[in-house]
Amino acid sequence: MTCSICNIGTCTEGITEELFNKNGKLIILKNLPAMVCENCGAKFFSEETSKVILRNLKEVENSKAELEIISA
């Protein structure tokens, strides 16, 4: 699949991590399956992975920690 961001690179299956800032809290999700562009590094998540991301973000919503690191 050609990257829809840079229109140059090819996206291949890989494992990545993503950093989120939610209400001043930093959340790092690790081990996320994604299609990653080998040219620009853009990440594309499947619907299933997107649901996992949203579920994890919701679970730490009430945590008092300023930093959460989660292995998805």
Residue 5 has pLDDT above 90, yes or no: yes
Strand partners, 11: 37
- State the pLDDT at residue 7: 96
Q: Torsions phi, psi of 49, nearest 5?
A: -65, -40
Domain residue limits, the chain: 11-71
Residue 72 has pLDDT above 90, yes or no: no
pLDDT tens for residues 18-69?
Answer: 999 988 899 999 999 999 999 999 999 999 999 999 999 999 988 889 999 9
In this structure, the dihedral spanned by the alpha carbons of residues 20, 70, 55 and 42, taken in order and rounded to 10 degrees, is 50
Which pTM was predicted?
A: 0.84
Class of domain 11-71: alpha beta
The amino acid that residue 33 corresponds to is P
- State the pLDDT at residue 56: 94
- Exposure string (b/e) for 24-42, b if CB count within 10 Å is 16 or more? ebebebeebebbbbeeeeb
